[in-house]
Structure 1
Amino acid sequence: MKVRKVTAAASVLLALSLTATACGGDDDKDEKGSGGGGKITIGIKFDQPGLGQKTPDGKYEGFDVDVATYVAKKLGHKADDIEWKEAKSADRETMLQRGDVDFIAATYSITPEREEKVDFAGPYLLAHQDVLVRADDKSIKSPKDLNSKKLCSVTGSTSAQNVKEKLAPKAQLQNYGAYSQCLTGLQSKAIDALTTDDSILAGYAAQKNFQGKFKLGGFKMTNENYGIGVKKGSDLKKKINDALTEMVKDGSWEKAVKDNFGPASYKNEPAPKIGDIVK
C-alpha cells in the first residue's frame, strides 16, 4: 500500500513538472520577439547622434531608436521590455546569425551581399551620401567643388574614397578616427568638408552644440536604403514590415524625422514603400 501511495504522489509531481515546462516554453517564445510581450533584444548604434546614441545618463535616443521602439510596441513589447545592444557595423550579420538580437535597426543599408546572409524588413529610410560644410562656406556648391579641398571621413569608411575616385579626383583625403573628430576639424577649419550618409551628418548637425554651425550640401551622391535586419528566414520580417507601414500611416514616422533631424534642416526623402529599393 505504501508503494502505491508513493507512486501516485510521484505521478502528480510529474504532471505538475510537465505543465510547468510547457509554460516555460511559452515564455521563451515571447522573449524571442515573436509577440505577446516579454523581453526583446534590439541592436542599434550607440555612437551616432540623431540615429542611435547611448547618452551619458544611460538613455537611448535617435531616429533608429524611435523606429525600433515603435516596431517593438507593435510586436507586443513595452519600452521597458527592450534590451538595447550595441550593433557595430562589422558585427551586425554575426549578431543576427548567432541570435544575439531579435532585430537590428542601425543605419543598416540593404545590399545584395548582406541579403545573402540576413533578411531585411523595410526600407524605412532612404539616405544619400552627402557632405557637411561650415554654414558660412559658399565655395562648395557641388561635388566637383571638393577638388583641392580637405575632405574628411572616418578610417575604414569608403565614403571619401568614393568621392575622390568618381567625383573630385583632386580632393585631399583626411581620415580621422571618429566623426566627432572630423566635426572638430571642420569647425576649426583644419578640414573643409565631412562626407558620409546625409542622415548621419544631419544627426550630428542637429546636436545643440553644433546647431547653426554646419549645413548639408544636398548632393545625393549615392542611395542608401536603411532596412531592419532579421535572421535569415525569420517570420519577424513580415510583422516588422506591417509595423513600419502603420508607423508611416499614423504620422509617427514623420514625427520621428522632425524630432531627430529637424534642427539640421534635413531635407529627407518621403517614407519609402516596403520592398522598394532605390538603386
Structure 2
Amino acid sequence: MKVPQAGAVAAVIALALTASGCGGNEDDKGTLSIGIKFDQPGIGMRETDGTFTGFDVDVATYVAKELGYKPERIEFKQVYSNDRELLLQYNEVQFVVASYSINEKRMEKVDFAGPYFVAHQDLLTRAGDTSINKPEDLNSKTMCSVTGSTSAENLKKNLAPKAGLLEQSGYSDCLVALQDSRVDAMTTDNAILAGYAARKGNEGKFKLTGQNLSNENYGIGVKKGNKELKRKINDALKKMVADGSWESAVKKNFGENYKYEPAPQITTG
C-alpha cells in the first residue's frame, strides 16, 4: 500500500478544514436567540410581514453585531413580562431586551447589563375622558396592565389602592379593553404608551396624562452569573451611545417630539 507524502496529507487536511468552516468562519457561531416583546409599538413589535421594529429591536441588533452576529443570524423570541427570568434560567434565550426594568427583586434571579434607557410610568386614557388627571382619580375606576408588571403594583401600593385592576398577558389586550371601555386607563411606561397612541389607526383615540410616576431603568437581562456576556453587552451599549446610534434609534422609534432622557450612565459593570 502506497503511503501518501506528508505534503499531500497536509493539503487534504487544509482542504477539509476550509470546506467544514473550521478555523473561525462566521458560520461556526450559529444563531443568537434574543428575547423581545412582540406587541409593543416603538419598543418591540412583530409586524404583519414578519419583520421586527422598535427601539429594543435596534438595541438588540446593535449589541448582536458587536458580539459578531449579523442580523440574519438573530433569532428573536417572544417574551412576556412574567416569563423573562425563566427563559434566561433555562437558556431559551441568550439575553432579553424587552422594556425590562432593573429592580432588586429581579436581580435576585438574573443579571443586568445597562441601563440603556430611562422611561417614566404614565397613564393612557381615551382621548375624550377628562375624569382622570392624576393617579388618585383611579380609586373609583379600573385600570389595565400586564401580568407581572411593576406599574400596576406601584399604583395599587402607593397611589390608588382602591382602583380595580384587569391583568392581561399583553399590552395589546389592554389597549382593546381600554378602547371597548372595559377599563378606564392603561398603565405602563410612557415610551410604550406613546408607541401605542401613535400607532397607525390609533391617532386621536388615546392620550397620555403626562404623569412621571416612576423612573424605569431598562436593562438587558442575562443569565445569573454570566459576567463575561454582561461585560460585552455593556461595552456594546457604550459604543452605541458614543457613535450616535442610540440617539438615532430613539428619534426613529419614538418621534422627534418625544421628550426622552439622555442615555443613562451604565451602572452594572
Length-normalised TM-score, structure 1: 0.79
2:266 aligned partner, one-letter code: I
The equivalent residue for 2:252 is 259
Q: Write out per-residue CA displacement over residues 194-244 of structure 1, whole angstroms, 9 at most, x where no aligned residue.
A: 112222222211211112322222222222211112232242222221221
Structural mapping, 1:215-254, within 5 Å: 215-231=207-223, 232-254=225-247
The equivalent residue for 2:85 is 93
1:235 aligned partner, one-letter code: E
The equivalent residue for 1:171 is 163
Cα distance between partner residues in 2 of 1:160 and 1:97: 25
Secondary structure of the 1:140 match is coil
1:244 aligned partner, one-letter code: L
Shift of the 130–249 alpha-carbon distance from structure 1 to 2, 3 Å rule, reads same
Equivalent position to 2:187, from 181, 195, 201? 195
2:108 aligned partner, one-letter code: E
Q: Write out per-residue CA displacement over residues 82-115 of structure 1, whole angstroms, 9 at most, x where no aligned residue.
A: 2222233333333334433332211122222333
1:258 aligned partner, one-letter code: K
The equivalent residue for 1:63 is 55
Structural mapping, 1:104-115, within 5 Å: 104-115=96-107
Length-normalised TM-score, structure 2: 0.82
The equivalent residue for 1:133 is 125
Deviation of 1:73 after TM superposition, in Å, equals: 2.1
Structural mapping, 1:146-161, within 5 Å: 146-155=138-147, 157=149, 159-161=151-153
1:182 aligned partner, one-letter code: C
1:115 aligned partner, one-letter code: M
1:122 aligned partner, one-letter code: G
1:72 aligned partner, one-letter code: A
Deviation of 1:133 after TM superposition, in Å, equals: 1.3
Cα distance between partner residues in 1 of 2:157 and 2:219: 27
Cα distance between partner residues in 1 of 2:138 and 2:82: 29
Q: Write out per-residue CA displacement over residues 60-100 of structure 1, whole angstroms, 9 at most, x where no aligned residue.
A: 11111011112222333322222222233333333334433
Shift of the 254–80 alpha-carbon distance from structure 1 to 2, 3 Å rule, reads same
Cα distance between partner residues in 2 of 1:215 and 1:176: 20
Cα distance between partner residues in 1 of 2:221 and 2:168: 28
Equivalent position to 2:175, from 178, 183, 189? 183
Cα distance between partner residues in 1 of 2:101 and 2:176: 27
Cα distance between partner residues in 2 of 1:55 and 1:157: 23
Number of equivalences: 266
Cα distance between partner residues in 2 of 1:91 and 1:161: 17
Contact 1:30/1:39 (CA < 8 Å) preserved in 2? Answer: no
Shift of the 276–210 alpha-carbon distance from structure 1 to 2, 3 Å rule, reads farther
Shift of the 23–206 alpha-carbon distance from structure 1 to 2, 3 Å rule, reads same
Deviation of 1:58 after TM superposition, in Å, equals: 1.0
Cα distance between partner residues in 2 of 1:99 and 1:29: 21
The equivalent residue for 1:120 is 112
Cα distance between partner residues in 2 of 1:84 and 1:191: 31
Secondary structure of the 1:169 match is coil
Cα distance between partner residues in 2 of 1:188 and 1:94: 33
CA RMSD of superposed structures (Å): 3.3
Cα distance between partner residues in 2 of 1:161 and 1:77: 37
Secondary structure of the 2:82 match is helix
The equivalent residue for 1:35 is none
Deviation of 1:123 after TM superposition, in Å, equals: 0.5
Cα distance between partner residues in 1 of 2:72 and 2:27: 18
